[in-house]
Structure 1
Amino acid sequence: MAGTRVDKRVERGQHSRRAILGRAMDVASVEGLESLSVRRLAAELDLSKSGVFAQFGSKEELQLATVRAAVEVYVDKVVKPANRTPAGIGRVRALCESWLAYAREPVFPGGCFFLSVSAEFDARPGRVRDAVASARRDWQRLYEATIEQARGLGEVRQDTDAAQLAFELDALARGGGQDALLHDDSAIYERVRVGLLARLRAVATDPGLLD
C-alpha cells in the first residue's frame, strides 16, 4: 500500500510538471521566458505556488526546464517525422517541410518557440542563453549531417558545402517564419517553401528526386 501511495504521488507530480511546462512553453513563445513566474503559472493552472516552486526551485531552473521541454517537442514535431523519409536529399527536404509545418500550425501560439526565445536571450550571457544556443546548434548540425549523408549517397553535388547549405536553408526558414508572424500572413510560408525547394534543386544531382 505504501508503494502504491508513493507511485500515485509520483504520477501526480509528473502530471503537474507536464502541465506546468506545457503552459510555460505556450507563454514563452508569445511573451518570452522572462515572463514566466511561479506565481503566474500556479494561478493559471490552479496549483499551489509551493507545489510549482518544489518542481523547479528557481525562475532560472523553470526557464531551463521549459527550454528542454521545447527541445523534446521540436524533436517530436520536426525531427522524427523527417527521419521517416529515407536518407538522401528527400530527407533534407523533409526537414524543411517539417519545420514549416511546426511553425505554421502552429505548435505554440507564438510560432516557433526558438525564434521567440533566441531573440530574447541572444545578447544575454548565462545558462539560459547557453541552453537556447545549444538547441540551435544541434538543429544546424542535424541539417548539416543530413546534407552530408545525401551527398555521400550521390544525391547532392560533391562540391556542395554542407555547412553553408544548412545555414542558408535554416536562415531562409527562420526569416520567413518571423515575417509570417509579424505580418500575420501565412502566404509567406509558401514563399519560403518555394525558396527552399529552389535551393535544393540547385544542389541536387537529379532534381527529379525532389518532384
Structure 2
Amino acid sequence: MTEDGRLIRGERTRTAVLDRALPLATTAGLDGLSLGQLAETLGISKSGLFAHWRSKEALQLAVIDHARQQWTDEVIRPAMAAPRGARRLWTVHDQRLAFYESQLLPGGCFFANAHFEYNARPGVIRDRLAAELADWMAFLTGLTTDAITTGELRPQTDAAGLAYEIESLGVCAVMQAPVFGPDTFRHARHALRERLSALATDPTILGDLP
C-alpha cells in the first residue's frame, strides 16, 4: 500500500471512531469513553487505535474537535446564510433547536453535557471546554452586536445580556426535552421571538419567521 493509501485509510478509521465516540459521549459521558470500548464496538484492534490517540485524554480532545465541527456544519453554517441582523440571530437559535430535535446525538447536547460533567474538574479537558464556550458566547454576542449595528435591534440592547438569554433558552430546552417533550423547543422558539420583537426597531421584520 502506498503512503497516500495508508494516510487515507488511517483518516477513514479516525473519522469512523470519532463518529461513534461523539454520540456515545452524550450518553456515557466524555469521561466514559475508552479506546478499548471503541475498538470492540467498531471491530478494530485496540493497538490500532493507539496509532491515532496515545491516551484517553487525546481521544477526548479529538472528540471535542469533532463535536465543534458538527456544530459548525449543523448550526453555524446554515445560520450564516440568513440575512444579517435579527433574522440571523433568530436563525442560529432555530437551527440549534432543530439540531437537538433531529436527535443526531442521543444524549441531547454534547457541549452542555460535557460542561456539566467537567465544570468542577480542573484540567486540560475543562480548559478546552471553557474555551469552546467562550468562543460560542463571543459568536452569539457578535451576532447580537451586528443586529444592533444594522439598526434592526434598539441601540440600548445589551448584546452580551441577550446572548446569555439565547444560550439559556437553548440549554434549558435540550435539558428539559427528555422530561417534558417537544413542547420545550416550541417554548424556546416562542420566547426568543417575543424577546426579539420587543427589542426590534421594526417588529414586522420577524413576521415571516416560524
Q: Work out the CA distance in 1 between the residues paired with 2:100 and 2:122.
A: 27
TM-score relative to the length of structure 1: 0.96
Which residue does 2:32 correspond to in 1?
35
User: Is the Cα–Cα contact under 8 Å of residues 102 and 112 in structure 1 kept in the other structure?
Assistant: no
RMSD: 1.0
Give 2:183's aligned amino acid. A
What is the CA-CA distance between 1:166 and the residue it aligns to? 0.3
Q: Work out the CA distance in 2 between the residues paired with 1:173 and 1:62.
A: 27
Asked if 1:208 is matched to 2:204, the reply is yes
Q: Which runs of 5+ in 2 are unaligned?
A: none
1:134-190 Cα offsets, whole Å, 9 max, x none, are: 111111111100110110010000000100000011111111210012x16112111
Give 2:128's aligned amino acid. A
Q: Work out the CA distance in 1 between the residues paired with 2:54 and 2:43.
A: 18
What is the CA-CA distance between 1:124 and the residue it aligns to? 0.6
TM-score relative to the length of structure 2: 0.96
Q: 2:76 aligns with which of 60, 79, 82?
A: 79
Correspondence list, 1:2-21, <5 A: 5-21=2-18
Q: Work out the CA distance in 2 between the residues paired with 1:30 and 1:187.
A: 22
Asked if 1:98 is matched to 2:81, the reply is no
Q: Work out the CA distance in 2 between the residues paired with 1:207 and 1:107.
A: 34
Task: Give the SS at the match of 1:54.
Answer: coil
Which residue does 1:198 correspond to in 2?
194
Q: 1:166 aligns with which of 163, 168, 171?
A: 163
My pick for the range that moved more, 68-77 or 195-204, is 195-204
Equivalent pairs: percent with the same residue?
38
Q: Work out the CA distance in 1 between the residues paired with 2:48 and 2:164.
A: 42
Give 1:169's aligned amino acid. I
Which residue does 2:115 correspond to in 1?
118
User: Is the Cα–Cα contact under 8 Å of residues 106 and 112 in structure 1 kept in the other structure?
Assistant: no
Give 1:118's aligned amino acid. H
Which residue does 2:55 correspond to in 1?
58
Q: Work out the CA distance in 1 between the residues paired with 2:182 and 2:44.
A: 36
Q: 2:64 aligns with which of 57, 63, 67?
A: 67
What is the CA-CA distance between 1:109 and the residue it aligns to? 1.2
My pick for the range that moved more, 71-80 or 110-119, is 110-119
